[in-house]
Amino acid sequence: MPEDLKAELLDVALEAARRAGALLRDGRPADLAVAATKSSPIDVVTEMDIAAEKLITGILAERRPADGLLGEEGADSPGTSGVRWVVDPLDGTVNYLYGLPSWGVSIAAEYGGETVAGVVAAPMRGETYHAVLGGGAWSGTARLACRPDAPLDRALIATGFGYLQARRAHQAGVAARIIPVVRDIRRGGSAALDLCDVAAGRLDGYWERGLNPWDLAAGELIAREAGALTGGRPSEPASGELALAATPAVFAPLQQLLEEAGAWHD
């Protein structure tokens, strides 16, 4: 793939993520949790989510009209250029609802089915993470690198939980299997940011079941370009069944533990 095309895709993603992040940050009502002008606070979050995706898709349509698109809020078109955008306009909606800072805008570009550029903007952190395939991972002008290798028992691991009660119950059991053999567990609430935190050396690893392509695409590339290993079940890629990212020393033993614990099923 030409390097100038990678650079163009990254530039478009950075612009779209920056503008959508600003919309979400500046448009969030200060009293969102008790908003009286809507039927529920969830309606406000949904409206902001849809507005952010509309802004992103408008930028993509203007700058890359022949590209395909897959978005969380329903956008799905094949395109004719070989490039497909995978967009999560608001990853971490519950955090956004509660006024917690860990939410972001995730935008990835695929070419021939492979993610070649990814951006995750985290406006409340004041950080934007980005990567192109083969070009390393970055936060602004600072190059990212995952943590130096440490054994599993000294690893800080993040995870997430689904919304369905039966799935959550099983995921709690999996977490109970992992907690005694690692340093500790965190639950950040945004898959995209958890993956970026692996890239930035803030976590040694992360796993989750039930992710969608838009949750995973940009953050996985960023983590991998920072030196992390990514995948799903043994010898399989990351998927909705199981997604895993970790430092090279932590990846294999954590993957094996998750396999034994049945983290890939409900």
Q: Under a CB-based contact definition with an 8 Å cutoff, are residues 232 and 238 in contact?
A: yes
Average pLDDT over the chain, rounded to an integer: 94
> Going by C-beta distance under 8 Å and a sequence separation of 6 or more, which residues neighbour residue 174?
258, 261, 262, 263
Q: Given a cut of 90, is residue 141 above it in pLDDT?
A: yes
Domain topology for 3-135: Fructose-1,6-Bisphosphatase; Chain A, domain 1 (3.30.540)
- Residue for token pair 């993520």: 17
Q: What is the mean pLDDT of residues 30-40?
A: 59
- Would you state the pLDDT for residue 202? 98
Give the pLDDT band of residue 45 (cuts 50, 70, 90): confident
The C-alpha atoms of residue 248 and residue 205 are separated, in whole angstroms, by: 10
- For residue 59, give every residue at least 6 positions away whose Cβ sits within 8 Å of its Cβ, in sequence order, or none: 12, 15, 16, 19
Q: Which pLDDT does position 225 carry in this prediction?
A: 98
Domain boundary assignment for the chain: 3-135, 152-261
The answer, yes or no, to whether residue 38 has pLDDT greater than 50, is no
pLDDT band per the 50, 70, 90 thresholds, residue 60: very high
pLDDT at 165: 87
Confidence of residue 76 (pLDDT cuts 50, 70, 90): confident
- pLDDT above 60 for 198: yes
**Confidence grade of residue 36 (pLDDT, cut at 50, 70, 90):** very low
Q: What is d(CA 150, CA 119) in angstroms, rounded to the nearest whole number?
A: 28
Instruction: Determine contact, residues 118/13, Cβ cutoff 8 Å.
Output: yes
Which DSSP category does 180 fall into?
A: G
Closest CA to 56 of 218, 191, 220: 218
Confidence of residue 39 (pLDDT cuts 50, 70, 90): low
Angle at 106 between CA 100 and CA 111, to 5 degrees: 170
Q: The pTM is what?
A: 0.96
Residue owning tokens 């779209």:
16
Q: What share of the chain is helix, strand, coil (3-state, %, to 5)?
A: 40, 25, 35
Give pLDDT tens digits for 85-98.
Answer: 999 999 999 999 89
Q: Specify the CATH number of the domain 152-261.
A: 3.40.190.80
